[in-house]
Structure 1
Amino acid sequence: FLYCCIWEIAQQALNGSLLYNYFICNVGAGEQDNWLRTTFIQRHPTATRVFVEMRFVVRDCNSFGADSLTCKETFNLHTSEADADIGTSFRKGQFRKVATIAPDEISGVGDMQINTETRVVDNLSRKGFYLAFQDIGACVAIYSVRVYYKTCPATVKSLAAFPETVAGGENQALREVAGACVENAVSEDQPRIYCTVDGEWVVPVGQCQCRPGYEPKNDSCQECKPGFFKTSVSNEACEHCPKNTEPSSSGALSCPCLQGFYRAPNDPLTAACSGLPSAPQNLAATTAQMAVGKLQLSWSPPADTGGRTDITYNVVCDRCEGSVCQPCGEKVRYDPSNTDLKEISVIISELEPHLNYTFTVEARNGVSQLSPQRATHTINTALHYTVTAMHLVESSPTSLSLSWSVSRWAKPSSTRYELMYRKKKDEEKNKVTTYTVLVLEKNSVQIIDLSPSTVYLFKVQALSPEGNPGSYSMEQEFSTPAEGKSVILGAAVGGGVMLFIVVVVLLLRRRRKNSHTRQGPEDAYFSSPEQLKPLKTYVDPHTYEDPNTAVLKFASEIHPTHVSKQKVIGVGEFGEVYRGILKAPGRKEAAVAIKTLKPGYTEKQRQDFLSEASIMGQFCHQNIIRLEGVVTKFKHVMIVTEYMENGALDKYLRDHDGEMSSFQLVGMLRGIAAGMKYLSDMSYVHRDLAARNILVNSKLECKVSDFGLSRVLEDDPEGTYTTSGGKIPIRWTAPEAIAYRKFTSASDVWSFGIVMWEVMAFGERPYWDMSNHEVMKAINEAFRLPAPMDCPSAVYQLMLQCWLQDRSKRPRFQDIVSLLDKLLKSPDSLKAIADFDPRVSIRLPSTSGSDGSPFRSVSEWLESIKMSQYSENFSMAGIVSMEQVLQMKSEDIRNIGVRLPGHLKRIAYSILGLKDQTSTLSVFAV
């Protein structure tokens, strides 16, 4: 140490140990300015932030009696940077103040209360620095000073090794560190991780994966054991060799098939090896109820499928005349096909009668092509001529003239027919049925000697030239007329019948068409143009069996070459968020936000990531964040949205505390309410409405965002409450949603009330530092957040309406939009201010610090009301004790450099709370 003036070095026994210290105690000599400086401290090249831990003793000024008029109980810590040791040279102007140091424990006469305080020296950039301690009239002894910086220790995460890294400073809260994959591990992108200012590793990006033949164990990649294998780059464990394979050696990439077993070309190496199928079973040919020249071939699946499910069948047809056989050729038709059949039947047509056919059915599976063996079943069959129709040509009381048609392959010159007929009344009288049989050379006949007014039944079959019969036609009825009548039916009559049928068909079609044009009772809702456009309703993408279908339906695909990343603006649950540019063909270049999915993701992570796009893509409103599109068909999955320049609403409000009028804040709330009305009209419940999930653009337009329901709702573990159904953000959630998970538009209205409070309080945390359980207990006991400072009474009354316990009595979003519109149209309605109690609303005990004792320093008081940025202003003005603070008026606060109206009021109201004078605010008219 280098010291000037009257700092002295001494030694003292404490608890049996000899301690050295630097001390000063010149309390009775008027104003003091005594300095003690360290030697040159070299800085680590990357350590921009260091911590200074001081152990010291300060004596109680009251113990000096009348000599203590100028006594102080604090001293100041200063620092000065340099690129080289300047020796004993010392100038106070080279130093900047770091902090005022106040003791927790003040020593009296005869006792020794050692204090330990730690302060941060930030933004260091030169090769080294000095520390200096300034005494302004205290009795103080410094026993030790420890200077250190924090590091993130060397570690292995996700199979990537990261070196020890010095933590960053306030200008680099997250320091990005590149790592390297461990031995036998690889990564498409270089693994990275972030080191926080507290020396902790967070958000690893770029996961390493073990090479084929290796599996992860104890932060390393180890060879697969014999009998195990691994085919690809992944972090999966090695697998047992599958069925029908040979045992593998160490580090195997696959297991070879046993002899007689195969893998299909498209089978993964992880699949078991398969055998060939056996032949199809129970092959049969059926002609019953088939049209002319058709048959149905059917069979049963093979008894042994070879261990596969991809069984198909091929059908081969041969036609034989005598002893000569040849392929049926293209003339024969198959329905649905004769190759790669998955069904166990096929209809074959265009067959000729009186020919022998041989049908062979082969069973195949995915490995049949790898072996010359075939599994077939063969059947022989033949077709005969078939009578297709029978017609009445002429009738008389004693005769009937008939004709019929046969299959087109029959040759009239070589075909004969067998006709059978009988009286129908024989059947009715339950007599023995007697048929008359005629063998004919042509396909027509006149039958005579029949009885008048009698019904006869006829059937006919065709005979081959060799005399082989075909199947009989269906029996048909024809009647002889009564005496004196006869009927002639020819081509003209037949044509008339066909004409009648055509007319009937046309009439039926016209009637059906007319019936479609009429409006039934169920169509009454759609009778007006407005009703023809039903309200669009939100569709939950999780109801789709394949989530990728929802993405394709609701989001536009963007080619990755149209998107360029510029700068990381955040780190989300799934990966980094970038600001970038979208250059889509035919569209103007636009700034966008790009959410990325970190490498090494699982399919579930990919679906969860894209579900937000499936939701967002259904919305189109100026106060809802706009989805530009997605990139899903390439390696790097992305969600692209419009870019909101001012980021999250809560942070924007905190950064601009006191800078906006109530009119501007209500305008922002109106935009949020309009977006929520749109979502409510679509039957969508947000569940996580909070200022952190509202984004602000350069025009100060607010847009609702964050529609990913599966994400962690808050970084702070205290911010969520875990139930059997997931996590709930307690401070923003309606009581029925917390207790019963009853999420509705009414619970979103409760959350909107909390957002209103956040906005009017410039980003203050709802319920301050209360725990979740304290918040739930307070709400159930009817506690509601008090009005923020300068909050219009009408706005606070709307908040209270949103927080009604009975959800059915809360306003709807359309009511909220309407009310906010009225307030904005009448700015005078915002002048009436809600009652404000600084002791409650600023959340400070009236006269005490966090532990119930009086504030010991001005800096502690300012930090407690989040105004610590003015510590230097108070110090420069010589206001270094709480007694001096309590004497300040509004003009004094303004004179030390507090200009923002919101900050001025916060400090003034806090002083008022400390003085416990809540009856009037006239002294602090701001």
Structure 2
Amino acid sequence: MNTKTETSDLKWTTYSRSKPEWEEVSGLDEENNSVRTYQICQADGSSSHWLRSKLIERRGASQVYVELLFTMIECSSRSTHHRSCKETFNLYYYQSDTDDATATHPAWMENPYTKVDTVAADFLLRKGGEKKFNVKTLRLGPLTKRGFYLAFQAQGACMALLSVRVFFKKCPALTRSLSVFPETVPRSLVQEAVGQCVANAAQPGPNPRPPKMFCGEDGQWVDQPTTTCTCLPGFEASHGELECRACPVGHFKMGSGPGPCSLCPDSSHTGEMGSASCVCRPGFYRAPTDSPDTPCTRPPSSPRSPVPQVNDTSLTLEWSEPLDSGGRSDLTYSVECRMCSAPGGPCMPCVDGVNYRPSQTGIQGRRVSIWGLRPHTTYSFTVMALNGVSPLIVVLVTATESSLTLHWNTPTQSHYRILQYQLRYCEKENSCHFMESNINEVVLSDLRRATQYEVQVRARTLGGYGSFGQAVVFRTLPDGKKSCSQRRQFGVVFCLRSHFKDPEMSDKNGQYLMGQGVKVYIDPFTYEDPNEAVREFAKEIDVSCVKIEEVIGAGEFGEVCRGRLRIPGKKENYVAIKTLKGGYTDKQRRDFLSEASIMGQFQHPNIIHLEGIITASCPVMILTEFMENGALDSFLRLNDGQFTPIQLVGMLRGIASGMKYLSEMSYVHRDLAARNILVNSNLVCKVSDFGLSRFLQENSSDPTYTSSLGGKIPIRWTAPEAIAFRKFTSASDVWSYGIVMWEVMSFGERPYWDMSNQDVINAIEQDYRLPPPPDCPTHLHQLMLDCWQKERTARPRFSNIVSALDKLIRNPASLKITAQEGAGPSHPLLDQRSPLTPTSCGTVGDWLRAIKMERYEESFLQAGYTSMQLLAHITTEDLLRLGITLAGHQKKILSSIEALGIQNKTPGNVLY
């Protein structure tokens, strides 16, 4: 408030039991500008004369300043000088939530008014003296109500109140050290302000703390901010660390942190700004062991001049090095043996009886000895020159009119074991097709004759899929042509007719292989000695390699810690450590280690990875990969509204991919829920917690697991047939996955809210289903409903779910179609709770708890929002001043206020 800016009468309230009263007149301020003033000149100081302002809105401030400009006549200069004459006046204030002051209310006395100070003049007006103005600034507070009135009490003074200015101090919005701090009103001597990283910046580490800075009482920022914000990969700090700028085209920045963008390494480039790595140019590649900042290289050319030497029962091959090493120093050689039915006829890989010295693959020299060949048999030997980027170049073994038999060599060095290969083959000007294989050879069938196909292959490890290798073109044969083979680009081939004695033949089958090489899960509880399963599936780690750093939680058997694992020859990395507390029984130890026996059988990028176990010392430990963002449900609640639908679908796709892998291994989880999904720093979701899981016996077309009587079942996530009959299948896991989808799209809301377990069972039996969460794409809710089909045979398989999510990801526009109120399921879940209204909420705290925003209760109360009616005009800017910076939380609070009907709208029945 500033009376200097008023152009009309102030019309403040006056009170006095005797004349004179405060009189509003026009006057001049210190700059001779016309202002509205109040003046009084009392002859007798025995009575009080009051002047009260109109209601002043405090606008979130807890303390304000009052600047007074006034003049006062010296008592000795007054013609009616009296011994009760005074050269001071008193300043008071009165707080109120409504503008309810009248001529008689509140009572004109110190209580209920609060006294600020007795104001004395520094300069007094004398007859013939210089005219001087007094300026006084006083602070009043703490303020807790909507507004306040100022009151002036004169008791014998002769004075003029020239202007009154009321203001509060605040620290302006600030960007510093890659952190943004909102406009902050100090509510104490020093007010802490919580900021956030600028765009394209983040804080490193698993548990980052938000940037902080302090706002002083004088409205000035104090010291430097406490922040660890750094630019994301692909961005560099600029303009004095005020922003993170995208790396220009042709440049990259690998990781988060300080430092500028770098020029792309040799034979690589970027096609867009903000790149974290550079893509290899056509014909150049990086190996799985190469870091993104290394130059791209090529495969070597073929080895030269192979020379075979037959010596009785052995064969020696020698060759010369290739002319071109591809620009790499990791050159090795491999020898492939194929046994042919006749010269020029089809060939098959040699049986296990063939032996090699020094080895068959990874040969450092240029000589190898081979023995164990059959007599009177034609053999084809291929000597291949390899380096780190050559393994996944496809070569043709045989071609017919309608098929191509293709082969590629396996990498000799990699951070992870290869789990699967994916082949992409495209007919010219037609769409591409994909094929997956567990081995490094495939047969493409049902092809068109005399047609050209472009083929690429890539490998999948625990780290996910790599990039596709070099595209190679092959052609099927025209009519009447016999099958043929093609010389490999990186090898040299020759045939040999052997005349050796027939060796003893042998054949091995993998212990866990079935049919076409599909690995099947083995229940560790089927072992006579469960410790044998632990030794077979889990790797023992020396305790000296592990350093525990901090406790991060508690498990069923003991503490859960974060630590570091440093195995000699390998890079140190973070791990999660489950410990078995002391005083355990043999059964507790077996049950604790059984989870390691289960996890150790899984190798998939969306399944939590077992690093190993420690059983040779105390405490007994299970070590898994460390997931920086913890459990999915709490992570989503913490980041409510911060992810786009396409990001959420990406998370769901990862979970579905992991469950597809488990189901294909004949494995049922039984406890699939968002709390049992872990999230790493790259938002990759991984299935974890195998405590309730059991093997599915393949004793029928529909394998089931029957739980023991009285076993605990997570009702809200469990399919109805599993609740009623204790029958668990991959189809019951699909039902649970539908609930996980609902949890993800509602940002961690509790399924079925506060309904009891029995109410949930009854509702499901009556065909009620969860409604779509707010802003949920229609296609996703329909997929949820498919997962919740009553007949388990009608539910999709996880392979179908992965395909459906892939379609949505490839067509982002479909995610913009959201479910409308009243649409969707034929039997939507009825909201049986009472609608929230300002009356039913009672207090601001009750309302915040009802919408799961109770974390902000103290902020609302400190800012003076003590009743529901005070929320009527709250805005986004007000929420920022309260420290509510998350856009999702702001939207939820504002939409809730609107739904409550406070803003002159009809109250609505809203699901919370």
| Short-chain TM bin | 0.3 to 0.5
Q: TM-score, normalization: structure 2? A: 0.41
More helix by share: 1
Structure with more contact order per residue of length (Cα contacts < 8 Å, sep ≥ 6): 2
Which has the larger Rg?
1
